[in-house]
């Protein structure tokens, strides 16, 4: 293997980092920027309650004009996720979901006509499958990027190279606890966009956004040209405007996963749940367009 | 990750600055925790260099915990086996009845140095929870202990004990409702409270610096045992044996012997009902290399990387992972890992009680069970030192139930 631990720690500005061949994610953000829109990026769990429902939700979100879709790979011990997403993962795994079914389910969608799909998966799953195999299979299925929430930038160099060699992006996370010197190292390893965690802690719905976040986003903006997307605790359309000048994208996780709980309920009317998800997505898409 | 360590010889000079034991260990955690782990590493290194910190810890260990505890020659057990001379390192005689307090006293002092007022911990059998609750009570820190609902049922005495010490015990009902889920929940708590809370992990698992730090605090077991053996027998033992769940008592016992090449080291895992997945907790015997709870080590997982359910009669060994240093010791061949079944452990517990008047914890009984086998195969001139990591009082209800007796 060995992952190179010697990485430069000098405080260089990483603005010069240019992408020669644009990835799908980069192209998407460039178009949004030109139009003056923010990206709306919903998160959903794969396989809750089954892959056919996941395919329906992806199609629904695509038809509502969302900009990117993050697809969570259920994992048995998800320390980075809150109770709503963990419960969703547990439901999916309880039905015996396998990683290969996620790849197959996504591969059978017309992914070139859908928004870019980003795989959010624990490093435990990548490592077990073989990092290269996982990335290759995901990209072949139609994924355009990866978020590995338990792989800090310090350990991500090898994976970053593999992902980029496949023409995809490895998204890095910055937390409110991240000191500036560390953030610069993270930005050096990032591609696609930067996932800015808005509150310390795990994913979940919260009522407000901390003022420090705006400050951190402003500072990050001076350090990178990569789009800044804000996630963890974004509740709905009313929070979008606060972020408009500071961020490039909004990630919504548990709010949609909550809707998905309804898909697996006994006697569930799947179509009406899908419509609920679609209506919510609509409101977020509207809120993120140029005013 | 390749098998880098396979060709290497084990050394005690691990981990490196990034937390690597050979290829194992490191940090696989969300970014939110990275800065706290870096700070903790720095603070721990400073504390180690600080004579005042060491003096305070030493004083607590002698006047509060009751160290040094004896290395006891188990005469009748030795006669029973008819082979090697068996010595017991009596961690069961510590305050709270197990080795866990060696680590919690150290980490509570560290918590105070960092100016944090709140402590969280996970617990399986409850011994680490009790040891944390005790340390927090002693220093007036707020304490929350996460414990799986299944373990709360199995270990009622310890739950009551923790509450008496003022700790809040939070039941965890997700997943398998055991130790591994309690760790997930504690990590999650820590991610939203890390500025004012310290997480006292109870074993040599988790992200760097925990595997190193917990090993260091537990190494007093092996340091004392090594010297006590020299004092009693004027030589080192031929074999040192300890049970391995996450691996804290064994890491503390083995570490001071790692560079003593003549001393064989044997770790005993929980073999449960047998070798089928889900029937045991023998991570090093049957597991694969993988990532769990923030470090890279051997793990019991399925072909997708999902953690497998495990079983052991012992709540303290009922864990699908193992500390990264044990993985390093396994791959370098420095420690031999074996597996002992539920039934063998239960039988050893009774043998020990009848022959020596000592009721061992069901965890430690796994080490005893293997010691009986090993002693029989060795000559009378040989010496075995086994870590009696805890006393069995906490297990009486469960043991009675398994023996078909009703205590209520």
Residue of A3, A79, A89, A181 for testing the chain B interface, max B β-carbons within 10 Å: A79
Within a 10 A sphere around the Cβ of B337, how many other Cβ atoms?
Answer: 22
β-pairing verdict for B197-199 and B118-123: parallel
Distances (CA, A) of B349 to B155, B195, B346: 18, 44, 5
- What does DSSP assign to residue B393? G
In angstroms, what CA-CA distances link A61 with A27, A117, A159, B117, B368? 19, 11, 29, 45, 60
- Residue in this structure with the two tokens 């892959």, named with its chain if needed: A51
What does the pLDDT read at residue A200? 56
Q: Check which CATH number belongs to the domain holding A119 and give it.
A: 3.20.20.70
Six-digit token string for B115: 């100016």
Interface of B with A in 150-189 (CB under 8 A): 174-175, 180, 184, 187-188
Read off the pLDDT of each residue in A30-40 and give the average, rounded to a whole number. 97
In this predicted structure, the answer to whether residue A97 has a pLDDT above a threshold of 80 is yes
Two tokens at B121? 């911990």
Closest CA relative to residue B34, chosen from A154, A158, A9: A154
Contact A194/A39 with Cβ under 8 angstroms? no
Q: pLDDT tens string for chain B (408 positions)?
A: 444 555 689 999 999 999 999 999 999 999 999 999 999 999 999 999 999 999 999 999 999 999 999 999 999 999 999 999 999 999 999 999 999 999 999 999 999 999 999 999 999 889 999 999 999 999 999 999 999 998 898 888 899 999 999 999 999 998 888 899 999 999 999 988 998 999 999 999 999 999 999 999 999 999 999 999 999 999 999 999 999 999 999 999 999 999 999 999 999 999 999 999 999 999 999 999 999 999 999 999 999 999 999 999 998 899 999 999 999 999 999 999 999 999 999 999 999 999 999 999 999 999 999 999 999 999 999 999 999 999 999 999 889 999 999 887
In a domain, A275, yes or no: yes
Residue with tokens 């003549």: B262
A147: left (phi over 0), alpha (psi -120 to 50) or beta: beta
pLDDT above 70 for A1: no
Phi, psi of A35 (to 5 degrees): -85, -10
Q: Give the lowest-confidence range in A54-68, A228-242, B43-57, B221-235.
A: A228-242
Domains of chain B with CATH codes? 20-60+100-214 (3.40.50.1100), 66-97+219-402 (3.40.50.1100)
- The one catalytic residue in B23, B122, B239, B363 is B122
Structure tokens at B8: 């290497």
- Whether A17 maps to a domain, the answer reads no
**Per-residue confidence (pLDDT) for residue A223, from 0 to 100:** 97
Q: d(Cα A221, Cα B48) in Å, to the nearest integer?
A: 40
What is the mean pLDDT of the segment spanning A261-282?
Answer: 91
Let me know if residue A5 belongs to a domain.
no
Report if residue A201 sits inside a domain: yes
Instruction: Report pLDDT for A17.
Output: 42
Torsion B315-B320-B324-B329 (CA) sign: positive
Q: Quote the Cα angle for B377-B243-B160, to 5°.
A: 140
Residue A235 has what pLDDT? 73
CB distance A127–B305 less than 8 Å? yes
Burial class (CB in 10 A: 0-12, 13-18, 19+), B265: buried
pLDDT at A9 over 50: no
Other CB atoms within 10 A of residue A224 CB: 21
- Please say whether the beta carbons of B232 and B87 come within 8 A: yes
Chain A residues lying within 8 Å of B15, measured CB to CB: none
Considering only CB atoms, which chain B residues are within 8 Å of A157?
Answer: none
Q: What is the CA radius of gyration of chain A?
A: 18
> In terms of pLDDT, which residue wins out, A200 or A266?
A266
DSSP codes, B1-36? ---GGGGSPP-SS---TT-EETTEE-----HHHHHH
* Subunit contact A154:B27, Cβ cutoff 8 A: yes
Residue B303 contacts A where some CB pair is shorter than 8 Å: yes
CB contact under 8 A, A197 and B35: no
Ramachandran assignment for B382, one of left (phi > 0), alpha (psi -120 to 50 degrees), beta (any other): beta
Contact state of B187 with A1 under an 8 Å Cβ cutoff: no
Task: Say if B294 is an interface residue toward chain A (CB within 8 Å).
Answer: yes
DSSP class of B277: T
| CB < 8 Å to A175, chain B | 30-32, 34-35
Q: Do A122 and B291 count as a contact with CB atoms less than 8 A apart? A: yes
CB within 8 Å: A1 and B175? no
B122 is catalytic: yes
Take residue B316 and report the two structure tokens written for it: 């303290």
Residue A236: which pLDDT band, with cuts at 50, 70 and 90? confident
C-alpha distance from residue B105 to each of B53, B64, B102, B109, B126 (Å): 11, 10, 6, 6, 16
Looking at the DSSP bridge assignments, the partners of residue A42 are A252
Total domains in chain A come to 1
> In whole angstroms, what is the distance from residue A83 CA to residue B344 CA?
39
**Residue A184 within any structural domain of the chain:** yes
pLDDT band at A228 (very low <50, low <70, confident <90, very high): very high
Is A9 inside a domain boundary? no
User: How many CB atoms lie under 10 A from the CB of residue A288?
Assistant: 25
What's the pLDDT at A88? 95
Q: Quick check: is A236 in a domain? A: yes
Chain B CA closest to residue A125:
B305
DSSP reduced 3-state for B280: coil
The helix (H) or strand (E) run that includes residue B239 is strand B239-244
Mean of pLDDT values over A52-76: 98
CA–CA dist A183, B195 (Å, integer): 18
Length of chain A: 291
> What is the predicted pLDDT for the residue at A207?
55
| Cα–Cα distance, B245 to A287 (Å, whole number) | 52
**Is residue B319 classed as helix, strand or coil in its secondary structure?**
coil
Give the whole-number percent of chain A exceeding pLDDT 70.
88
Asked whether residue A11 is assigned to any structural domain, the reply reads: no
Indicate if the alpha-carbon torsion angle B57, B59, B63, B67 is positive or negative.
positive
Q: Per the omega criterion (within 30 degrees of 0), is the bond before B52 cis?
A: no
């Amino acid at each position: 293997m060995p992952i190179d631990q010697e990485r430069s720690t000098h405080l260089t500005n990483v603005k010069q980092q240019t992408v020669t061949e644009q990835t799908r994610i980069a192209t998407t953000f460039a178009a949004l920027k030109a139009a003056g829109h923010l990206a709306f990026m919903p998160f959903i769990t794969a396989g809750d309650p089954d892959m056919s429902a996941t395919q329906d939700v992806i199609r629904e979100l695509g038809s509502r004009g969302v900009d990117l879709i993050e697809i969570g790979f259920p994992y048995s011990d998800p320390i980075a996720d809150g109770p709503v997403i963990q419960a969703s993962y547990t439901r999916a795994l309880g039905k015996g979901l396998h990683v290969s079914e996620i790849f197959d389910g996504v591969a059978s969608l017309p992914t070139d006509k859908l928004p870019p799909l980003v795989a959010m998966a624990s490093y435990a799953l990548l490592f077990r499958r073989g990092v290269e195999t996982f990335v290759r299979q995901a990209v072949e299925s139609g994924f355009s990027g990866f978020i590995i929430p338990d792989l800090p930038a310090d350990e991500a160099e090898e994976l970053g190279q593999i992902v980029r060699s496949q023409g995809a992006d490895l998204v890095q996370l910055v937390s409110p606890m991240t000191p500036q010197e560390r953030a610069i190292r993270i930005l050096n390893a990032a591609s696609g966009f930067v996932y800015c965690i808005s509150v310390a802690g795990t994913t979940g719905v919260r009522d407000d956004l901390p003022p420090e976040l705006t400050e951190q986003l402003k500072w990050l903006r001076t350090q990178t040209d990569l789009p800044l997307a804000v996630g963890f605790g974004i509740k709905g359309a009313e929070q979008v405007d606060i972020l408009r000048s500071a961020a490039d994208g909004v990630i919504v996780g548990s709010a949609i996963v909550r809707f998905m709980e309804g898909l697996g309920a006994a006697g569930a009317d799947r179509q009406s749940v899908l419509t609920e998800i679609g209506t919510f997505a609509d409101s977020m898409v509207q809120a993120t367009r140029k005013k | 990750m390749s098998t880098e360590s396979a060709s290497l010889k084990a050394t005690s000079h691990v981990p490196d600055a990034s937390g690597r034991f050979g290829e194992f260990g490191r940090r696989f955690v969300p970014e939110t925790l990275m800065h706290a782990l870096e700070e903790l590493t720095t603070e721990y290194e400073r504390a180690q260099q600080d004579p005042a910190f060491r003096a305070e810890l030493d004083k607590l260990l002698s006047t509060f915990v009751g160290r040094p505890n004896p290395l006891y020659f188990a005469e009748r057990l030795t006669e029973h086996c008819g082979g090697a001379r068996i010595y017991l390192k009596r961690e069961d005689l510590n305050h709270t009845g197990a080795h866990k307090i060696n680590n919690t006293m150290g980490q509570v002092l560290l918590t105070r140095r960092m100016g944090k007022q709140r402590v969280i911990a996970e617990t399986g059998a409850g011994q680490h929870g009790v040891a944390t609750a005790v340390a927090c009570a002693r220093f007036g820190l707020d304490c929350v202990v996460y414990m799986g609902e299944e373990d709360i049922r199995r270990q009622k005495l310890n739950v009551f004990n923790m509450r008496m010490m003022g700790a809040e015990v939070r039941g965890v009902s997700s997943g398998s409702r055991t130790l591994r889920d309690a760790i997930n929940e504690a990590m999650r708590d820590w991610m939203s409270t890390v500025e004012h809370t310290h997480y006292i992990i109870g074993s040599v698992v988790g992200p760097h610096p925990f595997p190193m730090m917990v090993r260091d605090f537990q190494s007093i077991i092996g340091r004392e045992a090594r010297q006590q053996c020299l004092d009693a027998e004027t030589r080192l033992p031929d074999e040192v044996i300890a049970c391995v769940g996450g691996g804290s008592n064994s890491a503390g016992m083995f570490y001071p012997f790692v560079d003593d090449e003549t001393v064989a080291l044997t770790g005993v895992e929980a073999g449960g009902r047998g070798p089928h997945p889900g029937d045991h907790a023998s991570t090093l015997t049957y597991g694969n290399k993988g990532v769990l709870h923030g470090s890279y080590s051997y793990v019991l997982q399925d072909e997708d990387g999902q953690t497998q359910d495990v079983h052991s009669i012992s709540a303290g060994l009922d864990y699908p992972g193992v500390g990264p240093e044990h993985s390093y010791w396994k791959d370098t061949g420095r420690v031999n890992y074996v597996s002992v079944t539920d039934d063998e452990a239960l039988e050893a517990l009774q043998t020990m009680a009848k022959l020596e008047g000592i009721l061992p914890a069901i965890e430690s009984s796994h080490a005893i069970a293997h010691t009986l086998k090993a002693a029989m195969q060795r000559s009378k001139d040989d010496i075995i030192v086994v870590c009696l990591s805890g006393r069995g009082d906490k297990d009486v209800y469960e043991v009675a139930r398994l023996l078909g007796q009703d205590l209520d």
